[in-house]
C-alpha cells in the first residue's frame, strides 16, 4: 500500500485544496496493488476459451489437471523414455508466449492444467479444403497434402482478432495452403540406434496436416505454453501444424480390439496411432519405449499419441528421410 505523509504548512493565502490529492493517492494505490500480483496471476477471465476434451473425462491415463510439464524434458544426449531426443537445443531468445500471462502452469510442481488453458475458438475463418493422399508403389509409400485439414476443422485465425489470447501468445500467423510430400519406406525397419528429432515437420496426418515435435522455438513444452485452436493446430507464419494428435483424430475408426486406428505416418516410415492400445486402454509414457512407440502383432512397431509430453514421438526408431 502506498503511504504519503502530508505535513502541516502555514499559508498566507487560501488553504490548499487537499482534495485534489485524493484521486492521485487512490490511483497510485491501485497501480501498486496491480503491480504486486505475482507472475502468472493475471486477472483476465479466459474461461470462455476453456475446453474439456473427452480424453479428460475419465480416470484412465494421465490426469489432465496435472500433466507433466515438458520444459526440462528435452535432451540432446541420448534417447530416454518420456523425453524428446532433439538434434538441437532450444533457443531461449526465440519468440513465444508471455510467461507472465500464463496461469495454468504450476512451476513449483512442473505440471500444467489443460482444463484451464485457453484455446482459440472456431469462427468465420474459412481456408481452402485440405487435401491428402497416400500412394503405395513398389517399396515406397508417399503421403502428401496441402497442410490444411481435410475435415475442415480449424480455428478462427488470425488470433490477433482475440486480444486476450494475443496478450499471451503474439502469433500473427494465418494458415494457408503449403504442399508437403513424404516418400517413405513401405516396410520400415528399426534402426540399430534411434535418431534424434530435427526441426520442422516430423510426419503427416491422414488429415493432411503435418506434425511438429513437442517443443516450441525456446525448447519449452509447446502445448503447455503456446495457444493452439480447439482443433489442435496453429500456424508458424502460414504453416499450420500439430504438436500432438488432435483428440478428434484418435485413430477413427479404431481396430477390432479397441486399439486406436492409424492417424498418420512419421518420417521414418512407421505409423502413428491414437491414444489407446490393445483392449482400448489409454496409454501413458510408461507403456511405451524411449521413442514413444512399441511393437505387437499384427501391426509391428508403431508410435502412439499420449496426452502427456512428448505427445507424439521421442526419437526416430527407424531411419528418417
Sorted by where each begins, the domain ranges of the chain are 46-321
Give the rounded percent of residues in the chain with a pLDDT score beyond 70. 87
Residues 6+ apart with CB under 8 A from 298: none
Average pLDDT over residues 178-191: 98
Q: In the prediction, which pLDDT does 257 show?
A: 87
In whole angstroms, what is the distance from residue 230 CA to residue 83 CA? 25
Q: Is 94's pLDDT higher than 90?
A: yes
Give start and end residues of each alpha helix (H) in 77-198. Answer: 163-166
Could you give the C-alpha distances from 163 to 103, 160, 235, in angstroms and in order? 16, 6, 17
pLDDT at 303 over 70: yes
For residue 252, the model assigns a pLDDT of: 77
- Exposed/middle/buried for residue 222 (C-beta within 10 Å: 0-12, 13-18, 19+): buried
The beta strand positions in 155-238, using DSSP E, are: 180-185, 203-205, 210-211, 233-236
Share of the chain above pLDDT 90, in %: 83
Contact 246, 311 (CB under 8 A): no
**227-243 mean pLDDT:** 98
Give the whole-angstrom CA distance, residue 306 versus residue 198: 20
Judged against a pLDDT cut of 60, whether residue 22 lies above it is answered with: no
Residue 32 phi, psi dihedral angles, 5° rounding:
-65, -35
pLDDT digits (tens, 9 = 90+) for 250-264: 977 788 889 999 999
Mean per-residue pLDDT, 206-220 = 98
What does the pLDDT average to over 84-111? 97
Q: What is the pLDDT of residues 103-134, one digit of tens each?
A: 999 999 999 999 999 999 999 999 999 999 99
Q: Does residue 2 register a pLDDT over 70?
A: no
Q: What is the DSSP letter of 27?
A: H
**In this model, does residue 41 exceed pLDDT 60?**
no
The whole-number average pLDDT for the span 234-245 is 98
**pLDDT at res. 205:** 98
Which pLDDT does position 256 carry in this prediction?
82
Question: Residue 103 is placed in which grid cell?
Answer: 496461469
Q: Distance between CA 244 and CA 150 in Å, rounded?
A: 17
pLDDT of 279 higher than 70? yes
Mean pLDDT of 156-177: 98
Q: Please identify which residue in the block is written with the cell numbers 510430400.
A: 181
Distance, in Å, from the CA atom of 240 to the CA atom of 157, rounded to the nearest integer, reads: 11
pLDDT given at position 253: 78
User: Is residue 270 over pLDDT 90?
Assistant: yes
Average pLDDT over residues 192-212: 98
pLDDT at 86: 99
**Residue showing cell 498418420:** 264
pLDDT exceeds cutoff 90 at 37 = no
Mean pLDDT (the chain) is 89
pLDDT of amino acid 36:
35
- Report which of 40, 60, 55, 79 is spatially closest to residue 244, judged by C-alpha positions: 55
CA distances from 302 to 182, 206, 247, 258, 269 (A): 17, 15, 18, 16, 9
pLDDT of 229 above 70 = yes
DSSP H stretches of helix in 178-280? 222-225
User: pTM here?
Assistant: 0.86
Amino acid at each position: 500500500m502506498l503511504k504519503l505523509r502530508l505535513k502541516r504548512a502555514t499559508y498566507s493565502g487560501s488553504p490548499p485544496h487537499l482534495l485534489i490529492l485524493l484521486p492521485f493517492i487512490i490511483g497510485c494505490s491501485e497501480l501498486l496493488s496491480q503491480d504486486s500480483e505475482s507472475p502468472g496471476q493475471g486477472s483476465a477471465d479466459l474461461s470462455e476459451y476453456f475446453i474439456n476434451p473427452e480424453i479428460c473425462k475419465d480416470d484412465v491415463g494421465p490426469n489432465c489437471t496435472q500433466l507433466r510439464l515438458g520444459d526440462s524434458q528435452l535432451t540432446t544426449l541420448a534417447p530416454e523414455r518420456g523425453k524428446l531426443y532433439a538434434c538441437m537445443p532450444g533457443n531461449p531468445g526465440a519468440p513465444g508466449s508471455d510467461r507472465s500471462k500464463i496461469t495454468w502452469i504450476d512451476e513449483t510442481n512442473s505440471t500444467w492444467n489443460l482444463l484451464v488453458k485457453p484455446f482459440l475458438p472456431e469462427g468465420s475463418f474459412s481456408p481452402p479444403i485440405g487435401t491428402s493422399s497416400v500412394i503405395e508403389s513398389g517399396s515406397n509409400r508417399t503421403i502428401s497434402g496441402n497442410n490444411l485439414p481435410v475435415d475442415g476443422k480449424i480455428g478462427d485465425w488470425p488470433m490477433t482478432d482475440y486480444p486476450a489470447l494475443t496478450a499471451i501468445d503474439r502469433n500473427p500467423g494465418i494458415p494457408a495452403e503449403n504442399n508437403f510430400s513424404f516418400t517413405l519406406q513401405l516396410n520400415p525397419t528399426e534402426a540399430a540406434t534411434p535418431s534424434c528429432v530435427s526441426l520442422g515437420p516430423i510426419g503427416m496426418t491422414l488429415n493432411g496436416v503435418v506434425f511438429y515435435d513437442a517443443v516450441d522455438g525456446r525448447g519449452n513444452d509447446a502445448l503447455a505454453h503456446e495457444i493452439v485452436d480447439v482443433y489442435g493446430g496453429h500456424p508458424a507464419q502460414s504453416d499450420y501444424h500439430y504438436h500432438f494428435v488432435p483428440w478428434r483424430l484418435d485413430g477413427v475408426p479404431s481396430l477390432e480390439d479397441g486399439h486406436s486406428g492409424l492417424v498418420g505416418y512419421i518420417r521414418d516410415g512407421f505409423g502413428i496411432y491414437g491414444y489407446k492400445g490393445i483392449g482400448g486402454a489409454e496409454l501413458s509414457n510408461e507403456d511405451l519405449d524411449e521413442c514413444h512407440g512399441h511393437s505387437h502383432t499384427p501391426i509391428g512397431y508403431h508410435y502412439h499419441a499420449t496426452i502427456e509430453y512428448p505427445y507424439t514421438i521421442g526419437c526416430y526408431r527407424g531411419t528418417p528421410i
